[in-house]
């Protein structure tokens, strides 16, 4: 079978999570991590380790079939590639920030100002869309120091925790766009490679679902069973088994991480006892 060539970041914020995805999806990578190329022994893929900025072009040129990259990179420059799956890690946002001592009332602040950024494409579109007239100063790194050294009035950059802004005496005033790691693919992969890609995405989804769900087991008094089942409906419906002790049942279900504590509180109120919460290894969605 033809191997799907996948470009991932050699070393940086995307690397660990990208590799972890493959490991958790049961894809063995033979010749060690982070060489130039790694081939899987049990799935038709080959990983290429390169700089993140080069990934979209590799995919556009079909040197790689698919790649994992920060969405910000493909928003900045339009490549002939498509986003086939959102991966949910390396979340960040692109924002405008100004010196914290400045008063800020509206976007009009930026009229006539000089903004330093490594993302001139996204910034230009934002300024145009909002009818703002600012001067874009394109620099490739250490954008956050630009106002302090008098190079610009404001910056437009990636923000995650916000601590880089704070330590440079800046404040975030407008969020322009959110970003996360995405799986991109060449526009015409051909039938065989598309099948491998579908299978890969299917596995990634199972891994993601498993991460965001827990298996829950509890003992319920029979007179509260209906209400308890309503709180934890699970994938189809919970499994209910009688306990040896009369008047009690064991309930097994699946619970989403996001509503976890709310649900646990409700279950306790309804008289559930012996609640066990167990991690799920893989969750197959169909």
Q: Which of 21, 52, 66, 238 touches Zn ion by CB under 5 A? A: 52
Pick the stretch among 48-56, 164-172, 202-210, 221-229 that binds Zn ion (CB under 5 A).
Answer: 48-56
- C-alpha–C-alpha distance, residues 88 and 80, integer Å: 22
Encoded tokens for 67: 């790649």
CB of 202 to Zn ion, least distance (A): 30
Q: Which of 53, 178, 223, 269 touches Zn ion by CB under 5 A? A: 53
Q: What angle do CA 185, 186, 188 make, to 5 degrees?
A: 125
For residues 62 and 187, is the Cβ–Cβ distance under 8 A?
A: no
Binding mask 141-180 toward ligand PRT (x if CB under 6 A, else -) reads: ---x------------xxxxxxxx--------------x-
Residue nearest to ligand PRT (CB): 70
CB of 14 to ligand PRT, least distance (A): 5
Give the C-alpha distances (Å, rounded to integers) separating 176 from 75, 189, 252. 12, 32, 44
CB of 267 to ligand PRT, least distance (A): 36
Pick the stretch among 25-33, 53-61, 64-72, 185-193 that binds Zn ion (CB under 5 A).
Answer: 53-61
CB nearer to Zn ion: pick between 52 and 65: 52
Residue 53's φ and ψ, nearest 5 degrees, are: -65, -25
Region of 186 please: left (phi>0), alpha (psi -120 to 50) or beta.
Answer: beta
- C-alpha–C-alpha distance, residues 135 and 112, integer Å: 7
Residues 6 or more apart whose Cβ sits within 8 Å of residue 12 = 52
Report which secondary-structure segment, H or E, holds 173: strand 170-179
CB of 196 to ligand PRT, least distance (A): 25
Give yes or no for residue 9 binding ligand PRT (CB under 6 A): yes
CB of 134 to Zn ion, least distance (A): 25
State the residues that interact with ligand PRT by CB under 6 A. 9, 12-14, 51-53, 70, 72-73, 90, 92, 144, 157-164, 179
State the residues that interact with Zn ion by CB under 5 A. 52-53
């Amino acid at each position: 079978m033809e191997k799907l060539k996948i470009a991932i970041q050699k070393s940086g914020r995307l690397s660990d999570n990208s590799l972890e995805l493959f490991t958790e999806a049961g894809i063995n990578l033979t010749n060690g991590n982070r060489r130039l190329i790694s081939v899987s022994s049990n799935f038709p893929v080959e990983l290429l380790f390169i700089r993140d900025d080069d990934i979209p072009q590799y995919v556009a040129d079909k040197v790689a079939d698919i790649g994992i990259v920060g969405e910000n990179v493909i928003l900045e420059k339009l490549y002939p590639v498509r986003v086939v799956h959102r991966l949910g890690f390396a979340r960040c946002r692109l924002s405008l920030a100004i010196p914290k001592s400045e008063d800020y009332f509206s976007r009009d602040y930026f009229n006539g100002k000089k903004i330093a950024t490594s993302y001139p494409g996204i910034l230009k579109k934002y300024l145009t869309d909002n009818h703002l007239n600012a001067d874009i100063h394109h620099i490739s790194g250490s954008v956050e120091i630009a106002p302090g050294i008098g190079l610009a009035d404001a910056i437009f950059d990636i923000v995650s925790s916000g601590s880089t802004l704070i330590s440079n005496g800046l404040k975030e005033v407008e969020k322009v766009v959110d970003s996360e790691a995405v799986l991109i693919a060449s526009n015409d992969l051909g039938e065989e490679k598309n099948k491998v890609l579908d299978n890969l995405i299917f596995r990634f989804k199972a891994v993601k679902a498993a991460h965001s769900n827990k298996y829950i087991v509890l003992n319920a008094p029979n007179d509260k069973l209906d209400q308890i089942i309503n709180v934890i409906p699970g994938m189809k419906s919970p499994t209910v088994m009688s306990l040896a002790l009369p008047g009690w049942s064991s309930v097994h279900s699946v619970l989403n991480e996001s509503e976890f504590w709310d649900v646990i509180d409700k279950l306790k109120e309804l008289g559930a006892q012996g609640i066990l919460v167990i991690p799920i290894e893989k969750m197959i969605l169909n």
